[in-house]
């Protein structure tokens, strides 16, 4: 099978947004005009996974200003292509694109906060999906966006080895990087809607 990643073009954003609304819960994605403007100004980057010339999945990514982190804010496989491994392939190709120089961050909802077992299972499977792709859960970071508590997971860049000695510095890099990313995405008016705190930062 032939795979490729191509940038999302602005002419297809409206159709893409219909899928985003169906694929994600309210609050997990920006209003249409905001997303369009951010893509137009290159604040966010959109990518489409192509398999044998068919678009099978999409993602929206944002990098910090130091080029050390990339946040995948949205990633989904089109409904008719799910269950065929395209999501894993997409992550692999994004890793090849970014992870030589940058670490990739994703946000995942906490399974323990789910109100129903079905939703808990979905959240647990999402974490397992990213773990299978090489992401590591960061339990020492308390994080929420738009008042929704989340876990952060990281796929380290190739030169970064995660161990107990490096985790403290990594957490601080993530703290600065996520602040930089969300200042761009939310602006000063709504920046407070992103909250991030490192547990025991002072060694207490």
pLDDT tens, position by position, 106-121: 999 999 988 899 989 9
| pLDDT value of residue 165 | 53
Domains and CATH numbers, the chain: 3-198 (3.40.630.30)
pLDDT tens, position by position, 22-55: 998 887 889 999 999 999 999 999 999 999 889 9
Distance from chain centroid for Cα 27: 14
| pLDDT value of residue 203 | 44
| pLDDT value of residue 13 | 96
| pLDDT value of residue 135 | 92
Give me the residues of the chain with pLDDT under 50, please. 164, 202-204
Q: Which SS3 state, helix, strand or coil, does residue 148 take?
A: strand
| pLDDT value of residue 43 | 93
Write the burial class of residue 75 (CB in 10 Å: 0-12 exposed, 13-18 middle, 19+ buried): buried
pTM: 0.86
| pLDDT value of residue 104 | 92
Report whether 89 contacts 60 (CB < 8 A).
Answer: no
């Amino acid at each position: 099978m032939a795979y490729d990643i191509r940038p999302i073009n602005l002419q297809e954003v409206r159709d893409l947004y219909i899928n985003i609304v169906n694929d994600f819960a309210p609050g997990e994605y920006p209003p249409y005009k905001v997303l369009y403007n951010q893509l137009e100004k290159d604040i966010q980057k959109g990518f489409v996974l192509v398999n044998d010339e068919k678009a099978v999945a999409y993602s929206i990514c944002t990098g910090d200003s130091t080029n050390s982190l990339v946040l995948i804010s949205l990633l989904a496989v089109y409904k008719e292509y799910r269950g065929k491994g395209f999501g894993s392939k997409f992550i692999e190709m994004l890793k090849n694109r970014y992870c030589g120089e940058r670490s990739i961050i994703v946000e995942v909802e906490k399974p323990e906060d789910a109100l129903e077992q079905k939703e808990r299972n979905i959240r647990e499977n999402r974490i397992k999906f990213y773990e299978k792709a090489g992401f590591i859960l960061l339990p020492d970071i308390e994080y929420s966006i738009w008042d929704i508590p989340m876990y952060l997971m990281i796929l380290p860049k190739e030169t970064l080895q995660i161990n107990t000695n490096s985790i403290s510095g990594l957490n601080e890099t993530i703290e600065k990087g996520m602040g930089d990313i969300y200042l761009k995405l939310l602006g000063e008016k709504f920046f407070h809607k992103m909250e991030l705190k490192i547990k025991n930062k002072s060694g207490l």
